[in-house]
């Protein structure tokens, strides 16, 4: 349990990942972050779908998935403007609200779905930095609901930074030759100033609150780097890749932004003092789309760092999930987690983990009234959205349910999307696969008839093979897979599905051939390495299987099947102790993995013998 006088500062960035941070740390350009890492625990932070910033941040702040907290879009539609979603549509309490209800004073600045908060916490919402007047004019007061309590307005309105206040000297740090930009054609300098002003505003509000009020938790979100990464990260990471067409003019924007964030972090840590614990998070990293990669859906993991009183030092925290953050921080505060929180306490980064029995929930109302209220809130939110956004909301909610293995709950949403957009291949394929997973073979066959018109002809054999396997016709499934492999797919997602089929069909030679074909094109495909590990293990080459599994894990640590393949490869070589260690790591990131639990019991007995 944390000492009662100790405080915790939680700072969250957006789209920061280790591939961006490590070179800057190694070059000595982020000394504050380097010190945190050296004196605390750190690891890669993974976020469950959907890939919507407001959804991910709210998941991290509540310990609940989007299907639970209901924030599945970043915005709500109001006439005449679209604005960030309000707190009233959030169906779960945040960490600062939970602590506040337990009698601990808290601060929150810049977090999504906080506008209009009614809480005993002091809150500056994510609309704080939004312009309330035209460029070149002093801004009127922030809109109602920006502050809680509302009396904060008089002190905090003047602290807002307007984009035109970003001067030439500051701009030169990000774009040294900014005067070469034709701003009549290229609006990116203006957008850069908006992002810088946004984080400067949140930082000013946070420093004011931290210095002037009593608190135990200060949660500060600085999202500006996210927008800068979307606009400029390609020019930084791919600066030496001519095919990516990087623009040297914008090469320094992202490194300069991280140097700025490091300086802001240093200032916050100076204010709170050395007796305050510090947690830094970024729930997700750069996506393939930002780099113009073919697999645009791929997104790297984010960042987790925890240092100071109550946290272990020099500790790698493997495979931490955004769902784990709130349970872990509750434990740091000496409080139990809750039964309606799926994440777990990451005890390896805590000096003393709370072992109290989890309480049922921290939500105030009963489960029944919570669900009723959540449905009412969802209906109200959807009524404010355009038709397209309402369907996006349902799609993202379905993604969250599927990721939580709640296919039955996702099914009505997917069926509705399919009826509305039968030509939408992604909606149709997801419904098709969900029906197969639920054993609804006849329904899946009907869906397939429509789906075949929405996908390229090269996809048809895979879909027919999946249907045939689900229907128990393995011979037809093999025939369709052979037909597919005559024209190998390019997408790693398709290869993944092919690999699953080949494993189910026990076609180990073909699986190895497919995996090697993918790896010949790119050695950074963790699923292909996993397929190679499985195939070579089945044909008795345990050493190659071990190496392949290790490579898959190095590319994506949060890949339970790769850890299990590694353990099996180690057992095949008689290395029982190493195998148990591999399984223990797996159960750290996926504690409810029944296959791993059973296998661990089996080889645990062999270890004792």
Residue 365's SS3 state is coil
69 and 145 together in one domain: yes
Domain boundary among 334, 364, 394: 364
Q: Scanning the structure block, which residue is given the tokens 């807002």?
A: 160
pLDDT at 91 over 60: yes
Burial class (CB in 10 A: 0-12, 13-18, 19+), 455: middle
Distance CA 337, CA 357 (A): 8
- Average pLDDT score over the chain: 91
Q: Using 50, 70 and 90 to split pLDDT, how confident is the model at 527?
A: confident
74 and 154 together in one domain: yes
113 and 218 together in one domain: yes
Assess if residue 391 is contained within a domain: no
What CATH number is associated with residue 466? Answer: 1.25.40.10
Domain boundary among 364, 390, 413: 364
Burial class (CB in 10 A: 0-12, 13-18, 19+), 83: middle
Q: Using 50, 70 and 90 to split pLDDT, how confident is the model at 237?
A: confident
269 and 170 together in one domain: yes
- Predicted pLDDT at 491: 75
Q: Secondary structure of 245-303 in the HEC alphabet?
A: CCCHHHCCHHHHHHHHHHHHHHHHHHHHCCCCEEEEEECCCCEHHHHCCCCCCCECCCE
- Predicted pLDDT at 109: 99
Assess if residue 232 is contained within a domain: yes
Residue whose C-alpha is closest to residue 418's, from 456, 463, 454? 454
Distance CA 324, CA 312 (A): 17
Domain boundary among 331, 348, 364: 364
Distance CA 295, CA 289 (A): 7
Percentage of the chain surpassing pLDDT 90?
75
477 and 336 together in one domain: no
pLDDT at 365 over 80: no
88 and 184 together in one domain: yes
Domain count, the chain: 2
Assess if residue 189 is contained within a domain: yes
122 and 208 together in one domain: yes
Chain-centroid distance of CA 37 in Å reads 21
CB 586 within 8 A of CB 567: yes
Mean of pLDDT values over 28-48: 96
358 and 437 together in one domain: no
571 and 472 together in one domain: yes
What CATH number is associated with residue 133? Answer: 3.40.720.10
Assess if residue 550 is contained within a domain: yes
CB 47 within 8 A of CB 59: yes
Assess if residue 405 is contained within a domain: no
Number of Cβ within 10 Å of residue 446's Cβ equals: 12
Distance CA 399, CA 59 (A): 14
Mean of pLDDT values over 145-162: 97
Q: Using 50, 70 and 90 to split pLDDT, how confident is the model at 1?
A: very low
- Predicted pLDDT at 544: 97
Domain that holds residue 332: 8-364
Mean of pLDDT values over 89-110: 96
Of the ranges 265-279, 401-415, 487-501, which one carries the lowest mean pLDDT score? Answer: 487-501
Mean of pLDDT values over 22-46: 96
- Predicted pLDDT at 609: 42
Of the ranges 66-70, 334-338, 367-371, 584-588, which one carries the lowest mean pLDDT score? Answer: 367-371
- Predicted pLDDT at 106: 98
Q: What are phi and psi of 577, to 5 degrees?
A: -60, -45
CB 174 within 8 A of CB 257: yes
pLDDT at 300 over 90: no
Assess if residue 419 is contained within a domain: no
Residue whose C-alpha is closest to residue 261's, from 186, 329, 334, 195? 195
348 and 445 together in one domain: no
Burial class (CB in 10 A: 0-12, 13-18, 19+), 239: middle
What residues are paired with 77 via a beta bridge?
82
Mean of pLDDT values over 191-215: 97
- Predicted pLDDT at 249: 93
First to last CA, the chain: 38
Number of Cβ within 10 Å of residue 382's Cβ equals: 18
- Predicted pLDDT at 89: 94
CB 413 within 8 A of CB 394: yes
Burial class (CB in 10 A: 0-12, 13-18, 19+), 173: middle
- Predicted pLDDT at 245: 84
Assess if residue 66 is contained within a domain: yes
**88 DSSP 8-state letter:** G
345 and 443 together in one domain: no
358 and 434 together in one domain: no
Alpha-carbon separation of residue 249 from 175, 189, 193, 252, 607 (angstroms): 6, 11, 16, 8, 60
- Predicted pLDDT at 369: 41
- Per residue in 247-299, pLDDT tens? 999 999 999 999 999 999 999 999 999 999 999 999 998 876 667 665 555 66
Distance CA 191, CA 230 (A): 11
Of the ranges 69-83, 188-202, 283-297, 535-549, which one carries the lowest mean pLDDT score? Answer: 283-297
Residue whose C-alpha is closest to residue 418's, from 382, 447, 445? 447
Q: Using 50, 70 and 90 to split pLDDT, how confident is the model at 520?
A: confident
Q: Using 50, 70 and 90 to split pLDDT, how confident is the model at 76?
A: confident
Assess if residue 203 is contained within a domain: yes
């Amino acid at each position: 349990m944390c000492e009662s006088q100790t405080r915790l500062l939680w700072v969250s960035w957006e789209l920061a990942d280790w591939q961006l941070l490590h070179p800057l740390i190694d070059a000595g350009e982020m000394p504050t972050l380097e010190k945190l890492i050296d004196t605390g625990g750190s690891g890669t932070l993974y976020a469950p779908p959907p890939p919507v910033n407001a959804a991910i941040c709210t998941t991290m702040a509540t310990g609940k998935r989007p299907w639970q907290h209901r924030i599945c879009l970043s915005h709500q539609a109001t006439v005449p403007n679209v604005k960030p979603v309000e707190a009233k549509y959030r169906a779960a309490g945040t960490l600062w609200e939970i602590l506040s209800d337990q009698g601990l004073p808290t601060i929150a600045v810049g977090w999504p779905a906080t506008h209009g908060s009614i809480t005993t916490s002091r809150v500056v919402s994510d609309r704080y930095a939004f312009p309330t007047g035209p460029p070149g004019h002093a801004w009127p007061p922030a809109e109602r609901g920006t502050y809680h309590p509302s009396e904060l307005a008089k002190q905090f309105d003047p602290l807002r930074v307007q984009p035109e206040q970003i001067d030439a000297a500051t701009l030169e740090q990000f774009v040294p030759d900014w005067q070469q930009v034709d701003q009549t054609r290229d609006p990116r300098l203006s957008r850069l100033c908006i992002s810088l002003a946004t984080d400067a505003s949140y930082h000013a509000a946070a420093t004011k609150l931290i210095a002037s009020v009593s608190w135990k938790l200060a949660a500060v979100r600085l999202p500006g780097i996210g927008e800068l990464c979307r606009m400029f990260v390609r020019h930084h990471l791919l600066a030496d890749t001519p095919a990516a067409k990087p623009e040297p003019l914008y090469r320094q924007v992202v490194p300069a932004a991280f140097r700025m964030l490091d300086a802001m972090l240093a200032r916050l840590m100076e204010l709170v003092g050395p007796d305050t614990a510090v947690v830094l998070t970024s729930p997700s990293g750069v996506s393939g789309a930002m780099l113009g990669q073919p697999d645009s859906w791929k997104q790297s993991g984010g960042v987790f760092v925890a240092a100071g009183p109550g946290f272990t030092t020099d500790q790698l925290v493997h495979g931490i999930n955004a769902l784990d953050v709130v349970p872990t921080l509750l434990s740091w505060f000496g409080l139990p987690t809750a039964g309606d929180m799926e994440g777990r306490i990451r005890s390896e980064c805590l000096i003393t983990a709370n072992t109290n029995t989890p309480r049922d929930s921290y939500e105030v109302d009963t489960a029944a009234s919570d669900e009723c209220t959540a449905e009412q809130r969802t209906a109200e939110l959807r009524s404010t959205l355009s038709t397209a956004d309402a369907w996006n909301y349902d799609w993202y909610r379905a993604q969250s349910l599927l990721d939580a293995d709640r296919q039955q709950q996702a099914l009505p949403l997917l069926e509705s999307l399919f009826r509305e957009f039968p030509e939408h291949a992604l909606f149709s394929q997801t419904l098709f696969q969900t029906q197969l997973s639920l054993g609804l073979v006849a329904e899946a066959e009907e869906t397939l008839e429509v789906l075949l018109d929405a996908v390229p002809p090269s996809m048809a054999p895979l879909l027919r093979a999946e249907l045939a396997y689900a229907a128990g016709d393995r011979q037809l499934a093999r025939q369709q897979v052979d037909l597919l492999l005559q024209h190998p797919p390019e997408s790693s997602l398709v290869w993944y599905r092919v690999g699953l089929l080949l494993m189910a069909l026990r076609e180990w030679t073909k699986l190895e051939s497919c995996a090697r074909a993918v790896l010949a094109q790119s050695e950074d495909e963790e699923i292909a390495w996993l397929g190679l590990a499985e195939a070579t293990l089945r044909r008795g080459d345990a050493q190659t299987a071990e190496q392949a599994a290790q490579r898959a894990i190095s590319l994506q640590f949060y890949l339970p099947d790769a850890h299990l393949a590694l353990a099996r490869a180690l057992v095949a070589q008689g290395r029982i102790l190493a195998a148990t260690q591999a399984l223990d790591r797996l159960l750290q990131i996926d504690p409810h993995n029944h296959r791993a639990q059973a296998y661990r019991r089996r080889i645990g007995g062999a270890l004792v013998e």
